[in-house]
Structure 1
Amino acid sequence: MSDPIVTDFSHHSAEFALRPFETLADMRAEAPVAWSTAHDGFWVVTDHQHIIDGLADYGRFSSSFGPAIPANPFGTRHIPVGVDPPLHSTYRRVLNTWFSKAEVTRREPEIATLVTEIVTGLAKSGSWDFVSDLADVSPGAVTLGILGWDRSRREELLEVMARGLRNQASTDPSIIEQNAAGNRWIREQIILEAEDRRAHPRADLMTVLATEPIVDGEPMSDEEVSDTVVFLLLAGFHTTSGALTALLVQMALEPALHERLDADRDLIPAAIDEVIRIYTPVTAVARRVTEDTHLGEVSMRTGDWALFVNMAANHDPAAFPDPERIDLDRDRSKSVAFGWGVHRCMGLHLARLVLRLEVEAVLDLLPGHRIDLDRTVRSDHVGVGFFYQVVPAVLPGR
């Protein structure tokens, strides 16, 4: 084993957000597994092979201490991503039913109607922001619909979650308290919903989580319900939103891609997966080392934190030749965009469906729309994903 390369890399820094792909390429070339002094110290892994090896090995690299560095402001035990097997399988089995390909396909007509209504409204207005007026609307509304929550609560939930994630790495005591207050508020809302379902069961996921026997023949505790729903809200609201705006901006940057998708709608799923590979909605996931071990050329100690950078894996030329280029025909079976191993994203079928319907609706109902690339604003924080904050667009002549 060799002495590790030491860096001050922080995935939450504005400097990283300015040059994410170049920074990760430089780190991979210097040391695919390095030690960062940021956030009290952690291993940062940037090559594809070591990332998939680590993510697949839940025995040595545990999820049960939380999926983020520093800790997510909305708690560390997100279920099921913050739980290792075998308990992970117990929780996941229940959720899989609601996010299976068959269930998602069954819901397609209602989701298509929702998306069509939203995009029709954009066409009538003549100008809009693809972030706040579409990307942040339909995924959250769909998630709340599955849970059985009132969809009108989307904006207040989104505001609290977005603020917490944006300030996740802050050391300012007032911001830390603000994040803690946001976490308490969201969990209070979840418990109120759970209590309502226990009194008035319905045909929704919230009722299942609050009332049905799941672990050892018993229903989930309030804490377990909260840990599960917090995860569903965070994942359902944010990742799909980032993927849509990344694809729409890419279509504006590459008119030939736009024309190709418009002419052949069967290519949209490939375009979605390719853009998600490049602009990975979940930048990285954290794991805790459970035993003295090694990864690559470095030795790790029990209790160390390791950050597996999904975005870096998806830009490793050893796995994806010419990784920054959109190639609808490339083999993406090694993509880590939806995770890897037992924690691979259970919502991938839903995400792909929502994204496909959104892109189809944009092509059908907003023909000739123009994105103002000069006024497009990308987030200066990609610690939890690649996002645009503003993507203004118009329909010429409206």
Structure 2
Amino acid sequence: MNNYEQDFPILKQKVNDERLVYLDNAATSQKPRAVIAALTNYYYHDNANVHRGVHTLAERATEKFEEVRLKVKNFINAPSEREIIYTKGTTEGLNWVARSYGMSHLKQGDEIVISYMEHHSNLVPWQQLAQKTGAQLKYIELLADGRLDLESARQQITDKTAIVALTHVSNVLGVVNPIAQVANLAHSHGAIMVVDGAQSTPHMKIDVQSLGADFFAFSGHKMLAPTGIGILWGKSRYLNEMPPLEFGGEMIDWVQLQETTFKEIPWKFEGGTQNIAGVVGLGAAIDYLSQIGMEQIEAHEQALSAQALPALEQIKGLKIYGPLNPALRTGIISFNLDQLHPHDVATALDMEGVAVRAGHHCAQPLMKYLGVAAMARASFYLYNTEQDVEQLVKAIKATKEFFKNGTV
């Protein structure tokens, strides 16, 4: 791939007098000049509320706002742009499915099936739904290398199962789950398939139809767009029957003194003033990613993982979580070093200019399942380079030496 690092102004700085290597992309990505320019242009020239005015600025803002819906539809191969709902992010999208679809469809004795690798955003909403409806929350086991155990999935998903909700890519283990296979299994038992696409959509080509998903949620800020903007895609037949969760302006059709009718999808879910600038930024991010090509981005990250994994394996006392075969994972590598606390490791790496994440990564049940309290996590994106991998490995070795002998 080309050196896309040049498109990201924030990367051209030093941290603690060292070249910045940003490897916290699973938490949030950096923003290219094209996205920053789109935001600036919107505020300079088109800032107005959408759907509410007939003046020129309002019409331009509305046109841009709705154009992005079509871009998203094409980006994930959804059947219709009317199925694209703007949210704050993955968390809100998954909560909406649980609260709107779940509360209106589930009853006592039904089952909700998830896995042990889920982010809290794809765990807590189902936990809450189970408590409120009397449904049972069940978990799919993992294989020794962190991949989903399909035999366990076959055992857990039954004719009582109403919802199966899985992450497409684990934010800790980096594994890519076989969503299409699980979706077929779920559908054969009459259940719907909900997919957390937060860690997959920025890094690989998404086709919600071939995945067999019924709902698919993702965030803009992990794929070069601003924070506070995300997408919930759902099949029309489910969205049409789901009640809205927020009531007020813009999502109504007609309000009378004692009753109200609501707009059609997607607008019935988009009450109040939306994050218009965030939508514009998401559109610019999709343009940028599409110009590069999602297949190229996925291949680039796998190449970086293929470089990093063997080098990290050679560091005595370093444990990597998830499969060691780069073909079975994305550019997320979680690890622990000797008996050091991950926060100490991350702080030491920061002194070497390397930004990683440390903690339980909003996956406490997974941490307990794996028998650890926390991990450090490095995660690659399209602007990372072979030099970044080399600096990461060098920084980990320096960290180990420092905590062992007090010198680097």
Whichever of the two has the greater Rg, that structure is: 2
State TM-score, norm by structure 2.
0.27
Greater relative CO (CA pairs within 8 A, separation 6+): 1
Q: Choose between structure 1 and 2: higher helix proportion.
A: 1
Bigger strand share: 2
